[in-house]
Amino acid sequence: MSMVYSEKVMDHFTNPRNVGEIENPSGVGEVGNPVCGDIMRLYILVEDGVIKDCKFKTFGCGAAIATSSMVTEMVKGKTIEEALQITNKAVAEALDGLPAQKMHCSNLAADALHKAIEDYQNKNKKAS
């Protein structure tokens, strides 16, 4: 397995960061890929327009867990606008690449983040 994946992917898979849920999250994004069975739920906590915390729960392959872990690290401390700029490609690049057959996993991580931000924005439209 380590021959196919970069050291960063293996590190985030074996030592995932920010696993769990956030109580009273500002936004939650859930995505899944019916082809591979991966399911990701991403929680964000936003204060003053900045993502203060991000946690995830993922059911899936090693690449799905690694991309979930990496996206939580990438987004902390970023404004909503900055976080929206995180792309599927950026997540894969931050992990020093993914095998072609696992690129769909990085798509899930960025998609889950964008859905969590969308959830946050929708909640705040109603509140204002």
Write down the catalytic residue from 19, 28, 36, 103. Answer: 36
Residue 36 annotated as catalytic: yes
93 vs 98: CA distance, rounded Å: 8
41 vs 97: CA distance, rounded Å: 22
Contact, 11 vs 1, CB < 8 A? no
Which 3 state secondary structure label does DSSP give 69?
helix
Residue 54 annotated as catalytic: no
Write down the catalytic residue from 105, 109, 112, 117. Answer: 105
The catalytic site residues sit at: 36, 105
